[in-house]
Structure 1
Amino acid sequence: MKVIRYQTVVDSPETDQRLDPLHRDVLKVGTIPTTLSSALPLERMLARKV
């Protein structure tokens, strides 16, 4: 493995500017992203539910 790519899908009326800090916080405090990021780079993507 060289990189881990993941996508967070949200269903929210909030703007991207308000959701982006939340998405970044998932990387900081989430157990799985924290563990994996020490071994491999993570590429994140935030998407809206259609």
Structure 2
Amino acid sequence: MEGTSSPRWTSLGPCTGSSRPASPRERIRYLDKLVDELAKGRPMEKVLRA
């Protein structure tokens, strides 16, 4: 496996509209919020639209 980043990883995180990529800390925070909402029982479709 060459490199350490996954092509999918670049699409994870909030869309800010800026050209700079989200920092790892921002991505972890976004994923943490995503998991919290799913744990509350909200459907994935509604969580991703919000």
TM-score category by the smaller chain? 0.3 to 0.5
Q: Which structure features the higher share of strand residues? A: 1
Q: Which structure features the higher share of helix residues? A: 2
Please give the TM-score of this superposition, normalised by the length of structure 2. 0.36
Larger Rg: 2
Please give the TM-score of this superposition, normalised by the length of structure 1. 0.36
Q: 1 or 2 for the larger relative contact order (CA 8 Å, sep ≥6)?
A: 1
